[in-house]
Amino acid sequence: MNDDTPPPGAAPERPQPAADPQGRTPAPEPAQATQAGPAAAAARPPGWEQATLERLLFAQLREQRRARTLNFLLRGGWLLFLVVMAWTLFHRGEGGGADVSLPHTAVVSIKGEIAAESNASAESVVGAMRAAFEDEGAKAVVLLVDSPGGSPVQAGIINDEMRRLKATHGKPVYVVVEESCASAAYYIAAAADRIFVDKASIVGSIGVLMDGFGFTGLMDKVGVERRLMTAGENKGFLDPFSPQTPAQKAYAQQMLDQVHKQFIEVVRAGRGDRLKDKENPQLFSGLFWTGQQAIDLGLADQLGNLEFVAREVVKAEDIVDYTRRENVAERLAKRFGAAVGEGAVKALQASGLQFR
């Protein structure tokens, strides 16, 4: 028998890996590191420091390329957004009637307050009316009104342009009242050839007002002193914290009476003999009436809605809306402009300057 026990002091032999069925001997397992420090560093391949630095540099370059690509995409996206917004602003929709040539009834809506910065501003309404009148397919122009009134200046501009466009193009203009046609809205409607209402519509309010508040009595009670300095004795005319003198009140009333007289003249010129009682003191007192009452007084002509007017009066049932509506790009542009303006005002106020 052979004795396989190693002699004393001899190192034990490592077991040899068994060969696979095909007779190949697998590669020996890597030796386990038994020492750290200088011995482990000596075992690393030569040039490993350079290889590590190269890997770090290449990783940093890849990160920079990704950052540049992302920045380029973001800038491209903003540029595309600005281009689309600019294109939309210069090609604003006007209701879809510019290329219509078939016979149709043109509609322009006047809804809400009539004011310079509203959808019912003179700029918006006049632009839509011009497009409607210039379309050869439009057999008549219908103003679809639902407004409590607003600026007499804006209403006057629209009224004047209505009369000019009627004379230039020879097309009739009709007004169809939905909920209300009061004050400045009726100022506009007076220039129409005929006014159609619902029996429950609100019509009239032919008058002018100037409103505000006065806090002088309250300030006296709480012991607050108003310190207002002006150059010009009437510069603080409408200041709510200062008393109103009789002369100032008379001057304001004179202005209101003058504008009211202009309003009355426009209504009488527009309605003419259709007014049943031109000398009725209540007619121009600022009162308003239902649609049926307005017909009885001659402030309106007959009952009817938009579809009725297009079908029975204009004889063109197809209705094309020319109303100019503010689009998304315009709203964003206005908000951006308002934000910039607000920031400028705050900067001026912080420096001690104020615009009032």
Categorize the per-residue pLDDT at 235 as very low, low, confident or very high, splitting at 50, 70 and 90: confident
Answer yes or no: do 306 and 347 share one domain: no
Residue 208 lies in a domain: yes
Report the alpha-carbon distance of residue 169 to residue 167 in Å, rounded: 6
Answer yes or no: do 193 and 116 share one domain: yes
**Exposure class string for 200-237: b at 16+ Cβ within 10 A, else e:** ebbbbbbbbeeeeeeeeeeeeeeeeeeeeeeeeeeebe
Please check whether residue 85 is in contact with residue 331, taking contact to mean a CB–CB distance below 8 angstroms: no
Residue 73 lies in a domain: no
Answer yes or no: do 108 and 180 share one domain: yes
Residue 289 lies in a domain: yes
pTM exceeding 0.75: no
Residue 356 lies in a domain: yes
Q: Given this model, what pLDDT does residue 100 score?
A: 44
Averaged over 179-192, what is the pLDDT? 96
Give bridge partners of residue 176 from the DSSP assignment: 144, 196
Answer yes or no: do 202 and 331 share one domain: no
78-81 contact pairs (CB < 8 A, 24+): none
3-state secondary structure of 104: strand
Answer yes or no: do 245 and 355 share one domain: no
Map tokens 């918006």 to a residue.
124
Answer yes or no: do 256 and 295 share one domain: yes
Does the pLDDT value for residue 141 go beyond 90? yes
Looking at 67-76, 80-89, 102-111, which range is the least confident one?
Answer: 80-89
Residue 194 lies in a domain: yes
Q: Given this model, what pLDDT does residue 41 score?
A: 55
Map tokens 């632009």 to a residue.
127
Structural domain boundaries enclosing 348: 326-356
Instruction: Provide the domain count of the chain.
Output: 2
Residue 301 lies in a domain: yes
Q: Given this model, what pLDDT does residue 97 score?
A: 43
Answer yes or no: do 245 and 345 share one domain: no
**CATH number of the domain encompassing residue 305:** 3.90.226.10
Answer yes or no: do 305 and 336 share one domain: no
Answer yes or no: do 310 and 291 share one domain: yes
Answer yes or no: do 336 and 291 share one domain: no
Residue 77 lies in a domain: no
Which two three-digit tokens encode residue 63?
């990160």
Categorize the per-residue pLDDT at 68 as very low, low, confident or very high, splitting at 50, 70 and 90: confident
pLDDT tens-digit series, residues 29-47: 444 444 455 555 556 667 7
Averaged over 322-332, what is the pLDDT? 67
Please check whether residue 148 is in contact with residue 286, taking contact to mean a CB–CB distance below 8 angstroms: no
Residue 258 lies in a domain: yes
3-state secondary structure of 188: helix
Answer yes or no: do 208 and 331 share one domain: no
Query: Which stretches of the chain are DSSP H helices?
Result: 38-43, 48-90, 122-134, 152-169, 184-189, 216-222, 246-271, 291-297, 306-308, 328-350
What is the Cα Rg of the chain in Å?
A: 42
Answer yes or no: do 339 and 283 share one domain: no
Kindly report the average pLDDT of the chain as a whole number. Answer: 80
